[in-house]
Structure 1
Amino acid sequence: MDTPLKMKRFLSILFFLAFVLSHSQKKVDSLRMELSRTKIDSFQIKTLYRLFVEYQKNSTKKAEKTILQAIELAEKSDYHNLLAKGYNLYGDFLRIQSREDSAIAVIKTGLTISERIGFEKGKWEALVSLGHCYWQKGDFDKAQKSYNKVIGTTKDLGGTALAYIGMGAVYSQKGEYARAMEQYTMASENFLQLGDEANYAVAIGNIGYIQRSLENYGSAANYFKISDSINNKLGNLSGQAFAAYNLSVVYKNMDVLDSATIYNKKGLELYSQLGYKKRISYCHFTMGEIHVKKNNLQEALESYQKSLDISIAVDDSVQIGYSSMAVADMYNLLGNRKKSVAYLKNAAKVASRMELNILSMDIHERLAKHLSAEGDMAGAYKNLEQFVLLKDSLYTREKRELASEIEAQYQNEQKTKEIALLASERELQTLQLRKRVNERNAIIIFAVLTILLAVLLFNQYRIKQRSNKELQELDRLKSNFFANISHEFRTPLTLIKGTIEKWEQNPGEKPEKEDVKMVRRNTNKVLGLVNQLLELSKIDQGKLQLKPTEGDVHKCLRTATSSFNSHAAQRDMDYRVKIPSEVLWAAFDRDKLEKVVYNLLSNAFKFSGNGECVSFTATYETNELTIQVLDSGKGISGEKLPFIFDRFYQVDSTLTKEHEGSGIGLSLSKDLIELMDGTITVASEEGKGSCFTVQIPIERIETGQPRPKEQEQVTGNKQARYTTPFRLNKSDKRNVPTILLVEDNEDMRQFIKAGLLDEYRILEAVNGEDGLKMAISKMPDLVITDLMMPKMDGVDLCKKMKTMVETCHIPIIMLTAKAGVENKIEGLETGADDYLTKPFETKELLVRARNLIEQRRKFRELFSSQATKIDPKEVTVNSLDEQFLEKVLDLLEREHADSDFGVAQMQKGLAMSKTQLHRKLKAITNESPGELLRNFRLKRAAQLLSQNVDSVTQVAYQVGFNNLSYFAKCFKELYGVSPSSY
């Protein structure tokens, strides 16, 4: 990062601090004025407490004086609640100043008062503060007990949440990060429920700390930034300082050292302002680590020394140990081994006293190396022994015995020296000692080599894993590409094949003009796809070459853009083309430039709705042609924008995508532009459209001809607009079955419709959503649907229709370009009655449709038979229809004898509207609800009459008929004889 940018950020931090301080000072002045005006003791005490909170931000002396004044006034006035609160606030203040013992005594006084007067809030506030004090002193068991008392006794959500925070800190210190995360998460949920933003920021910051401890640095940074933004809004300097310090640690560990330095300086400024000396020490220590990574050893030494000095001043034993070791390391690297040893010895004493085993192990290892290098083998040995003891779990019993043997040999050597043994014996001892040293060095070298080998193997493993992931992703993209390209090929091939078969079957008929246009249109589409694939293959093989010819570049662009005029007019779009009218004579590859223009404009029209705007602008300056294609369509999201030029990538790869495509158009355009030494860039915003900019170097060829005055040629949609002739839609009144055709491709829809129109009435829908609405409202006899459609694909349409009572009886034929067995199984599993792969024979589709409709007709006839008992399983295809019919028959069985029971009661009993009930029963039984009820009663009457159980009159009344003549008439219509004759 350059120096001006660093300075700019530093000044912005200073400005922010100045703003906060000025705002805080205004608040202090306001509170002091309020304090001078009030005469009521309780108001004065509360105002003093608020003033104390403000003073804490910038003056610890004033803050302590103010809280003591408030406590004294509360004691005189006998306000016990306020007195307990004052002791709790003062105790927490002392804790923050690292005066833990004084803090504990003060907080216990507040706890005693709260327990005596039954002040529940004061009680849990005191217990939480006590837990914080014990935690800060390193007495985690006592801290945990205090927090558990709060969690087990108080019903206050805020108190419980603060205790969760404390418990999370305890578990975090013990290394139990999962339990710590659980506590912090519960705390954040409580604070969120209470709307307590300040403490919510604390909980989020602590979750970030756990993520930092787990080395999930990206997640940790996000949590700290959320916490920082909340504290920034609330003006909470302590919270901002915490977030800044931790962000500096995170970015340091991620090796983003400039950001780490900026956040460290911000944290240091804020903690200095607040007077939090321990935190200031931590900031200096982290700054030292940053300097080490930057190889600024002298600056690192200064930062570590500052951390050590402050730690000694506040008696922070843990930090004294770590800072001492860090200072020792710096002196060693700077070549001052004596000072390094002195600081290491001091650190060893602290680590031993505090039982910091890991720190002790590191210190003894360093001391052993330093003393060995200075020739102090006794000291080196003692420290090596301590290192071995601390790392005992990593060594076998044999190595421990070897250490004991070395010790014995050393002692023998000392005794030998003392009693002045013969020179030969001394030499032998020296050789033995040297042998042990060599063995130790060999072990160290072997361990280092093993670690290096493990690191290399792990790195190779990571590279291999990354390569595998990239290959898997490439394989997935290719699979999607081939699935899409097969769909792109199969749909036009179906239309071409079907039209040719129609011509073959009717050789005497002259082909219709629209059929010829459709075949040409789809042939060109297939040809274009093949050409794109061939060019991609040539690019991959490095065989695609430029074939420049001289010509007018602007004329070429005008010709390419004019091919979209009619398309823009059909969709009532504002299509603007701005190309200078002057001649730009140059040598260029016309074919490749036209393909780039065509692909970019096709893309713009594809992702823009009817009535929206697409513009094409070309300019030429300083031997460079600039082309801009801009649309007002739906745009591309920021996370997808970097990948749109990747091979096979599609912004929308679902089955419901609204626009067809293979995912190679933009990739091919980029390759062609780069072949012409040009560049292509894109800017896009979701919901506002996209802008593609192409820059290609082209050198003008001077022809000696006079140039016309340069001006812009504007082509809008008005020039190409035409009026579609008015057509009167005639509804089909034929008494034939109805088929709902759901297909988004206009040509395919018209082709299928032409093949079915002779035998069926056809309803059309262009996507799954419209198809579902039409199926519910029109109740067709059959649905034919494509698999890949916008808004709702064929699979979802099939699932919804087969799980709705209103439509579950309608048979469905699914059409798709996906020819795999797994695709067919998927389609059938969703409930489709038949599955047809493109390209298909029109006759085959017609036969399958005829069979399904005929099957449903036979089921209806079976129900309408004169049998008195019908099994729903015999007249239905799916379980929903069976359940519905059983429900209808059960209802009729219960209520048919009631003469007042009619269609209205049926609707209520089945919870269906009149229209829904009529259409459903008509579709399953071929009878309206009234006919079904009447025939059920007549069939039951026939059953009773055949058993001679009663007279005709009594039977009529038993089955719900009040009018005997109407009963006789209906009975004769159904059975052909009168009831008495039957």
Structure 2
Amino acid sequence: MILSLLPYTTIASALNITSSFLLSLPAILLQAIAVFFVIFSYLQTKSRSLKLFWQFFSLAIIVDLISGIIFAGDYINTTPVLQDFFSLFSYFFILLAIETNPHLSETPLNKYIAGRMPALFFTVTCFCYFVLLPEEFSKALDHRLLPSLLFHITISGLIFIRLMSCVIFCREKFWRAIYWPLFIGSLALLMANVNYYFLIQGQALYSDDYIKSLVALIPYCALIFAASASLNTQNPAKPIAKDTYPELYILLLVSIIFSIHVAGLELGTFYITNSFWQSFVIGIWGVIAFILVVLIAYNKRKHTLDFKQQVFTQQKENKALTQKNHKLISSILNSEDKAIVRASSNAILTTSIDGEILSSNPAAVQMFQSLEHELTDKNVSTLFSSEDTMHYFFGFKSNVYALQRKDIGISVECMARRTDGTEFPVQAELQWADREEKPLIVITFINLTARKLAEKQTLDLKDKFIANISHEFRTPLTIINGILDQYLLKAQSKEEGLELTTAKRNGLRLVRMVEQLLELSRLTDNPKLSLSTYRLSQLMAMPIDSFSRLAKQNDLSFDADISDDLWLECDAQGFEKIIFNLLANAIKYTPAGGSIKVCAYAEQDNIILDITDTGIGINQASQVKIFERFQRADDEKNHAVFGVGIGLSLVNELVKAHNWRINLVSEYNKGSKFSLSIPAKESVAIEAQVPMSVSESEVSSLLLEQNNNKTKAKNHLQNVVLVIEDNLDMQNHIKRVVEQQHHCLLATSGEQGLILAEEYIPDLIVCDIMLTGIDGFEVLKQLKGNELTSHIPVILLTARSDLDSRLHGLNLQADEYLSKPFNQQELLIRIENLIENRKQLQQNYLHKFRDHQKEQQKESSVKKVSQLTPSESAILSVDEKFIEKLETIVAKMYLETDLGIQELASNMAMSERQLQRKMKVTLGTTPNNFIKEFRLAKAQILLQNGSKIGRIALDVGFSSQTYFGRCFKESFNCTPKQYQQQFIKS
């Protein structure tokens, strides 16, 4: 970047500051070296735009060198305007060089109006505005020098901004090596001009002569480095054409000079003269800028139309070529006599005994979506999936010889592949054909896509039927198991208890089968998982504890070795289902006296989880289909054990949904080992909380510790529970369970339940989701939205246990969500816990309210005592006036929803910053927080007076009732409704 020394010498003369350094030999020598490097770079470069770039820079530095020599001798007698005139030419050449944009194109961009003309007109405008007009109409010396310096600051600032944009948007190493030194040089130029501007006003950024001399030399050194960088590369990086936006550039230039002029007129600054010529110059510049923008828009419009015409012409030519190509292909396909039957609707290929394709019929061309000449001479293995056995058929001569011996040929189902990589199922029939010259193989392809789709639809219908049937099983199973629970608690004899235990065990087994069928259906339709990062030992804690007790009951040894430093990402409930089924099968198929071992270890980037048992094992033939749906190992040993093959198929679906791998190693009569391969994850600072286990109830059903579950009936509590259930059997069952400890109200529909809830205000509500009329979700929504019933805890008890329904219910503020079938003891415990928690919450609110009253009394007492101290009152009198004035203004304006710091500061006759500092010191808060607290205090009074909550937010100046509720809860730890209820109760 070139630095003009003319403004420096002008200021030095005006302030009688020595300019000996500027006239010294080293400075002249450095200028000469810079001229040499720039001219040499101009001569050596081959790029047209880069050559023009260095040509302009060489002219700029030569002008600067000449002006320095001319005016160095007797500067005092020289007119400053003449030196600024030389600087003007130097700036011209610098801006022309920058606007060449050599990094964007080999040929100079924006040749006329887009970049160069606006910059030149802007420079001339600034020269007339800051130099000529003040020189002509201003009499004081500083009124001429300071505008001149503003001219140099403005133009050097423009140069700095343009070079900074080049550095930011230029990504190539070669161009950045050129622009970075120039950018630093422009920064030095801008700093020097700004420093001399403040120097005249007696506030220089730096005044040391050494620093000023160093800053004056930086631009010449930057030019030398930039020119050297352009010489280091023989073949500079090819410029990348990019979109430029000259309209924004022109708008920036217009806004700069107009802003300076308007600010000068408003403030009456030194560069404003009494003549109208400054406004005239600004107006001329505005007209020129408008004309430039119009010309740019016209050129862009013209270029766009030309481009559209070229595209249209090219599309028309491409369409003509495509039609010719289709005619040529058609003539090729129908011209030659083929060795295969052309009339066949099946795709047929002929190949050599090595698999090389000799010919193909039109059906094959259509099936594989390739032209015949593209298929010919190609190996037929490329038409099969790389994972299919037919891909390697011709690679083994034994297969070809076997085909030769079979008169009926070979027929096999396989996966074919088109040239675009699409795979599809086909039936491939291979037939040997003898010829006089060479034998050939005829391959007929039958597309099985439609048949496979029909099979898939049939399987989907089957799965849907099973899922629907399973869903219907839930309600009767709930009733059956609930009745069994009641009779188990009342069993009179040991024999009766054993019979009921057997019935309960089979009922729970049926429940588990139904749950697994529904889970399989869900994974097939919507395999979405809720993934989080967990510690493996934390996930395995409950299954290991439960199954170790189950193994002990079955006389089995159970060992587990899980390291604490293993982390994984999974769906916690899905992971537990996998472990549950694998461990349950291990215990189920291991005879008494055997052992089960669970081991987890890290292997490279994976976690290997092994579950090993010494059970009956699985034979080799059964291992292939063990993970298929509804398949079991078919051998004599397994006939003694009941099972329908749901568990392992569910495991397989969950493993695939997680993108994990599962492997089975088993030996008949010796045992099995299931190995899970899970990608390891990095440990996290905050471990995800393991959700409520869905497998715990299933494991407890296997443990069958019914004797331990027998508890004495608790004393009947005076709590009222409303049950909303439209199934009469289920309603009576829930009633029998609830009435063991609480009073019970019954409703057979959602509408009836809402009426009873408002009439009796029960302590808790148990509601089904699938109701006649309005459903349970709507009932919950209306209960929580009603002022009378919003505090009542609600338990959703339903057969819909899918995650979406559960989340929807919890989002509607359901307090609990239980799925059918349910355990009656669990239901009673959850009812008792919710009622007890609600009572504790009421007590906490009461205590907090009383503590708040005590704190208010304490503050009032302290305030009265402080007023009795003479010294304190004298010190605080000013602050008290400030606070009183602040409260008065806020009291008048708090109803305005848009009241903020700006309006408050204006009425307090203070700036925003002053008000913020004053309130921070005096009150320890911000203006916005003070307004919010004032409004909340008013809202407290209105709530205590019994006003309607829905209107209070607007009455105290809040624009949103939701925001008001959130702010109120943050300040008083309760909602406005709760506060009003607590105040009324107290």
Greater RCO (CA < 8 Å, at least 6 residues apart): 2
Q: Normalising TM by the smaller chain, what interval?
A: under 0.3
TM-score normalized by the length of structure 1: 0.23
TM-score normalized by the length of structure 2: 0.23
The structure that is helix-richer by fraction is 1
